[in-house]
Structure 1
Amino acid sequence: MRFKRTLTATAVAASLLTLATACEDPAKAGPPAAPPSATAGAPAQASPAADAAAPASLAEVQAYLQKFTSCERLGTDPKDDRLPATDDTKDGNWAVAERGVCTDVKRHGDILIYRVSDMKTFQQAYYDHTMKMIEQGDGGFGNFSRTIVGKGFVVVPTKTKTAVDLVNSDLRILTCNPGFAVPAGYKREKPLVDHCGLTDFVSSKDGDGSKNLEEPHDPSTEGPEVPGQPATGSLGLASAGSMAELKKLVHPLYIDCTEMTVTDEHVQSIDYKPVVDREGPAAWGVKERAVCGKLGGAQRAHDLNWLDTVSDMKTLQSKAKAAQLADLKDDGRILATQNKLLVGTNIAVEVNRKANLNGLYQLQFLYLNCEPGFTAPAGYRLERAQVDGCVLTNFER
């Protein structure tokens, strides 16, 4: 019960958050998820450039980077406007000895450079920060960041294409998000700390990242944008054999189902409106239905998400389409409290929070979008739904 596709990992550090945020698309829409985790089945390989001497200066790092990409006008002045505005690495927790920045003239971007005195300390701090952000509710934290490690240094390019150029060397992207995995055809290596991974796969929402070699290609749908529904191919969707399997799949990293109620009754709150309405699950093609989160009582309900095992996916999608079009008819927008329907092959999840959406995209659930004229940019999944006029996608406006 695992799937195919990937996401990369987190911001370099609290000190790199400013730059990492700038490196990521503000929409933060998750791309496809991946096969078995790089951290679970990765070969026990050494860190990048294990036999090489660590650079003694930023100029030596610059010279190394110039073998693979443009790295001009090296600067170390804290007032250099190419550097992030904040620098929390000065607290000493990240073993950063020196930092600087150079410009990739070829790709029209910059490369932040950190010379690190203890790479294991840096990687542990990176892992700890990732876990902290996930615990605070950002389950997709760090997806698409470009944290690239070498022997004694770390670089963060602002442009995706720069990252692709750099990982064609012995440099690797460090990833610590538990949902991270690597597509077939790319390297999976072991870093200096547990529960992380190193890879030469660059994940990106802008379409400039590494090519996902698992993706089926149809020449008629390739281009800067992919209009309409794809003619062929699917990367596969999530599946589960029972409600217990579905809960195990999503809990606790992607949806908190510590409090879960299996029921056929219609449950909703002022803040969370489910997709399946008062007609009841059976009328929507749903076999079994559960709600996760606090149902409320003396206090308002919160964090409500619905899990569905589906006996008739076409019926579910048809009714969801009608409801979505009715919602769009008023002002062209989906109601803010309306949950989104994410589907697999025989299961569905109704979610509202952005962090939950990003996590479920990693598991290869896709959002049923029935907005007339909807398209998705290159680099996102866009697949046929079971009803005309709708698509399955991981792109959100």
Structure 2
Amino acid sequence: MRLQRIFAATATLAALTTLATACEDPAKAGPAAAKPSASPAVSTAPTAGAPAQASPTAAGAAPATLAEAQAYVRKYTSCEDLSTGPADRVNLAGYAPVGAWAVTERGICSDTKEQDEIVLSMVSDMKAHQQAYKDHITKRLDEGYWDAGLYDPYLVGKGFVATARKTGTGLALVKSDLRVLVCNPDFTVPEGYKKEKALVDGCVLTDFVNARDGKGSPVKGPALASAGTIEELRGLVSPKAVDCTEMLVTNEHIASIDYQPVVGRDVSGAGVKQRAVCGKLGGATRAHNLNWLDLVADMKALQTLSKESQLAEVGHQRSLTQSKLLVGTNVAVESNNPAVRKALYKLGFLRLDCEPAFSAPAGSRIRPAQVDGCVLTDFERPGV
């Protein structure tokens, strides 16, 4: 995977752009626009005698005008005040101009239900258009933007493309024959969602809407873990995930140079009712394989403390020794061992991630946390 610690604030309309506001960290943003020269030249007119190619999902005749595309979209969400030149509504500077990527005409309408703007692009050759989009995503991936194209509500149909900024608009539009086009090889269509071949290799069409805000299409997964006692928690996680052959039940602060727990000295102030530590505590040999088990009385307090700890560790080498917090409903496990965490995900634990603008690729589990600015997830970037 070509992953880097970069994210943008929110998904944008622009799939024909550098996606500077959708897929990139502003500090690493590339050029402001995807120029026609960045992709193969595309004729703006259909080949003589050949019909316009379309998404295989779209049934019926292809809309021939922006008004017809608007009428189609309005069956599923609002699309008002259609205009071809609303510079004050959406900044179109980042879009490839009409005439590139087989785009023959472009307009914008307002989704009043979601307070969003929808960009409608009429396309004369859908296969060429999808190829140009794939080439653009490949270029961004080669530049190190691992999430390029993972979160774009970029919906293709027969003869036109609709892009949106807000998750709610995308969720409404996938109820139609429009499908999200994804060309990022790290994307996996989650169970229960449609997966169809795009018109170019390496891309898929799906009715799954991926979103950074965790409000996209729901992903199925096991219920969060819970336990009534510390021994019950021990039985849940050991030996499947944590080696608790040696376990010490104590609310005292236990740490080592290699293992730093999220919960510090004030365990009760962190919302923890009872705590145990598993592993070799040291003595004749250096402490190793330390993991902490918590029965939690106040999950919001624990997540708040963990958020503070995470933000303090951003950019520090110490983050390699700082344990990461995985939570259930009333239990938590702290570990800095990736193998342990991977096993815990299968047991119904999710990791609290409070990194600014964090997002996870499709197929990962994401749930809201109990503190603002954080999510619960089973996704980890390698090496983090």
Considering Cα pairs closer than 8 Å and 6+ residues apart, tell me whether 1 or 2 has the greater RCO. Answer: 1
What secondary structure does 1:333 align onto?
helix
1:53 matched residue in structure 2 = 61
Q: Quick check: 1:111–1:157 contact (8 Å CA) kept in 2?
A: yes
What secondary structure does 1:106 align onto?
coil
Q: Quick check: 2:14–2:94 contact (8 Å CA) kept in 1?
A: no
Over 3 Å counting, the alpha-carbon distance change for 1:189 and 1:85 in structure 2 is same
Report the alpha carbon displacement of residue 343 of structure 1 after superposing the two structures with TM: 2.2
Residue by residue, what CA displacement relative to the aligned partner does 1:355-395 show, whole Å, maximum 9, x if unpaired? xx968x779699xxxxxxx8456994357xxxxxxxx989x
What secondary structure does 2:180 align onto?
strand
Is 1:86 the equivalent of 2:89? no
TM-score by length of 2: 0.53
Identity, in percent, stands at 42
TM-score by length of 1: 0.52
1:17 matched residue in structure 2 = 19
1:381 matched residue in structure 2 = 376
Is 1:336 the equivalent of 2:291? no
Report the alpha carbon displacement of residue 123 of structure 1 after superposing the two structures with TM: 0.6
Is 1:186 the equivalent of 2:193? yes
| Structure 2: runs of 5 or more not aligned | 1-10, 28-53, 227-232, 242-255, 260-277, 280-287, 293-304, 321-335, 344-354
- In the aligned structure 1, how far is the partner of 2:225 from the partner of 2:78? 32
Q: How many residues align?
A: 251
Q: Quick check: 1:48–1:170 contact (8 Å CA) kept in 2?
A: no
Report the alpha carbon displacement of residue 54 of structure 1 after superposing the two structures with TM: 2.0
- In the aligned structure 2, how far is the partner of 1:379 from the partner of 1:53? 45
Report the alpha carbon displacement of residue 218 of structure 1 after superposing the two structures with TM: 5.9
- In the aligned structure 2, how far is the partner of 1:380 from the partner of 1:365? 10
Report the alpha carbon displacement of residue 139 of structure 1 after superposing the two structures with TM: 1.2
Over 3 Å counting, the alpha-carbon distance change for 1:17 and 1:332 in structure 2 is closer
1:388 matched residue in structure 2 = none
- In the aligned structure 1, how far is the partner of 2:202 from the partner of 2:257? 41
2:327 matched residue in structure 1 = none
Report the alpha carbon displacement of residue 50 of structure 1 after superposing the two structures with TM: 4.6
Q: Quick check: 2:117–2:164 contact (8 Å CA) kept in 1?
A: yes
Residue by residue, what CA displacement relative to the aligned partner does 1:296-352 show, whole Å, maximum 9, x if unpaired? xxxxxxxxxxxxxxxxxx92555xxxxxx9xx78x971152425567244779xxxx
Over 3 Å counting, the alpha-carbon distance change for 1:344 and 1:169 in structure 2 is farther
- In the aligned structure 2, how far is the partner of 1:181 from the partner of 1:20? 19
Q: Quick check: 1:207–1:378 contact (8 Å CA) kept in 2?
A: no
Is 1:67 the equivalent of 2:75? yes
1:245 matched residue in structure 2 = none
What secondary structure does 2:93 align onto?
coil
Q: Quick check: 1:19–1:158 contact (8 Å CA) kept in 2?
A: no
Q: Quick check: 2:213–2:359 contact (8 Å CA) kept in 1?
A: no
Q: Quick check: 1:10–1:142 contact (8 Å CA) kept in 2?
A: no
1:315 matched residue in structure 2 = 289
- In the aligned structure 1, how far is the partner of 2:12 from the partner of 2:137? 6
Q: Quick check: 1:164–1:202 contact (8 Å CA) kept in 2?
A: yes
Over 3 Å counting, the alpha-carbon distance change for 1:50 and 1:205 in structure 2 is closer
Residue by residue, what CA displacement relative to the aligned partner does 1:80-106 show, whole Å, maximum 9, x if unpaired? 322224154227441111111111111
> Which runs of structure 2 are paired with 1:50-199 in the superposition (5 Å)?
50-77=58-85, 79-90=86-97, 92-199=99-206
- In the aligned structure 1, how far is the partner of 2:311 from the partner of 2:95? 43
- In the aligned structure 1, how far is the partner of 2:363 from the partner of 2:168? 26
Q: Which moved more, 1:46-55 or 1:130-139?
A: 46-55
Q: Which amino acid aligns with 1:215?
A: G
RMSD, aligned CA: 4.6
What secondary structure does 2:96 align onto?
helix
